[in-house]
Amino acid sequence: TKSIDEYPMLYDVGLKVPMIIRTPDSMKGKTVEDPVELIDLCPTLLGSAGLEMAPEVQGRSLQAALTGEKSPHRDYIFAESGAVKMLRGSRYKLVYYPAQPYGELYDLATDPDECYNLYDDPEHQKTRDRMIRDLLDRLIHTEAPRHGASNREPAYWRYLYSRPFEDNNE
């Protein structure tokens, strides 16, 4: 019998997690609504400590948002659970299952609880295809360097993410 924690869970209810940062200078409390990712913590902490960040470190410093300055715009946030990848924009959210004929696409403006999957809806095909391309581009630029491959080898990474993943748990 499989339990719920063995399945990918990329719904907003599990992704939107509050974060509290306390600085030594006791900056006045504020709420930042900008989407951030866990990978943003490393650049934020390094920058706060006055340390230089290595070029291969992913993420963006949250320092500007914490001090009330305008932070760089981010079109999407990314999350993953095993082989399953998620890209979330301000309106739409894509859950991508590599090499599978199915996926999930939600219009968060009209369906914030993610109940109505629009992945196969012809009216949303352009949005779905654009988000899949954006997701694959992100994977090419983040996964390739991590695995020692050049960013100039996108065909390999597109091939890799279009192949079925084996389930080794059975």
Whether 44 shows a pLDDT value over 80: the answer reads yes
Say if 15 falls within a structural domain. no
Q: What is the mean pLDDT of residues 19-31?
A: 70
Whether 94 shows a pLDDT value over 70: the answer reads yes
Whether 87 shows a pLDDT value over 70: the answer reads yes
Whether 32 shows a pLDDT value over 80: the answer reads no
Residue scoring higher pLDDT (63 or 158) = 63
Say if 96 falls within a structural domain. yes
Q: What is the 3-state secondary structure (H, E, C) of the chain?
A: CCCHHHCCCCCHHHHCCCCCCCCCCCCCCCCCCCCCCHHHHHHHHHHHCCCCCCCCCCCCCCHHHHCCCCCCCCCCEEEEECCEEEEECCCEEEEECCCCCCEEEEECCCCCCCCCCCCCCHHHHHHHHHHHHHHHHHHHHHHHHHCCCCCCCHHHHHHHCCCCCCCCCC
Q: What total of structural domains would you count in the chain?
A: 1
CATH number at residue 130: 3.30.1120.10
Residue 40 has a pLDDT of 86
Say if 50 falls within a structural domain. no
Say if 48 falls within a structural domain. no
Say if 12 falls within a structural domain. no
Say if 36 falls within a structural domain. no
Residue 13 has a pLDDT of 80
Whether 21 shows a pLDDT value over 90: the answer reads no
CB 128 within 8 A of CB 94: yes
Whether 2 shows a pLDDT value over 50: the answer reads no
Say if 84 falls within a structural domain. yes
Q: What is the mean pLDDT of residues 34-53?
A: 84
Residue 39 has a pLDDT of 85
Residue scoring higher pLDDT (100 or 115) = 115
Say if 35 falls within a structural domain. no
| pLDDT grade for 64, boundaries at 50, 70 and 90 | confident
Average pLDDT, the chain: 78
| pLDDT grade for 164, boundaries at 50, 70 and 90 | very low
Write out the residue range of the structural domain in which residue 98 sits.
77-160
Residue scoring higher pLDDT (143 or 97) = 97
